[in-house]
Amino acid sequence: MVRNSFDKELEQLQSLMVKMAGLVEESIENSVIALKKQDIELARQVYESDDTIDDLESKIEKICINLIARQQPLAKDLRAISTALKIITDMERIADQAADIAELTIRIAAMKYIKPLIDIPLMADLVKKMVIKSIDSYIKQDIILAKEVCDSDDEIDDLFSKIVLELINIMKNNPETVEQATDFMFVVKYLERIGDHATNIAEWVVFNVTGSHEHMA
């Protein structure tokens, strides 16, 4: 075996990716729980962990750029590094949006919710599973799992339209709900975007394995 030190650096990159993925997973999971339980403490925690994730993103970015500059990566090595560079942006955005949800959760935590949350947690759970699955597909380099992620994006989009319509109706019937309903509107928009980022991750996993990048959702 040759190129030991390059392989070691690639392994280090991979383990940082796994670490970042774990933190992102935790963020989205906690942001959903905090929203459901109106848990300010947990929401704050999500909000604060965003900095750690941002730091990891720049650390990984630097490693990738140095590897490209110094190791002349080719074929699967080049794909692995480009994939990492692309995926961290999506992971960072997911964490940002989880933090945004946490921020809204804190804002409306003291109020009684205008409606029992049923579809939003349902959508949140689906999105969370999508994120977990996309990260899993990256770690295992499993394209079947990656394709499942892309397929579930339609379900998210349907729920999004359904919830938005429901919120519009609530606001029409009772203008006093506008403030909170708008916040929920943002929450579902963030969730919908997180689903898109999970899809992006899955698409990059397919690229990493097969060498071709297609938009699958």
User: What residue ranges bind another protein (CB under 8 A)?
Assistant: 2-6, 65-66, 69-72
Instruction: Tell the smallest beta-carbon distance from residue 6 to another protein (Å).
Output: 7
CB of 1 to another protein, least distance (A): 8
Amino acid at 195: G
C-beta closer to another protein: residue 6 or 113: 6
Long-range (24+ apart) CB contacts under 8 A made by 31-37 are 31/98, 31/99, 31/101, 31/102, 31/105, 32/101, 32/121, 32/124, 32/125, 32/128, 34/102, 34/105, 35/101, 35/104, 35/105, 35/117, 35/120, 35/121, 35/124, 35/187, 36/117, 36/121, 36/124
Q: Nearer to another protein by C-beta: 37 or 62?
A: 62
Q: Least Å distance between CB 74 and another protein?
A: 12
State the amino acid at position 136 in one-letter form.
D
Shortest Å distance, C-beta 64 to another protein: 11
Min CB(77)–another protein separation in Å: 13
**Cα distances (Å, whole numbers) of residue 177 to 84, 108, 112, 141, 184:** 43, 12, 11, 45, 11
Angle of the 178-210 helix axis to the 75-107 helix axis, nearest 10 = 170
Nearer to another protein, 85 or 108 (CB): 85
Q: What residue type is 19 in one-letter code?
A: K
Closer of 3 and 162 to another protein (Cβ): 3
Give whichever of 2 and 144 is closer to another protein, judged by the CB atom.
2
Q: Are the C-beta atoms of 205 and 83 separated by less than 8 Å? A: yes
Q: How far is the CB of 67 from another protein (least distance, A)?
A: 10
For another protein, the closer CB: 65 or 111:
65
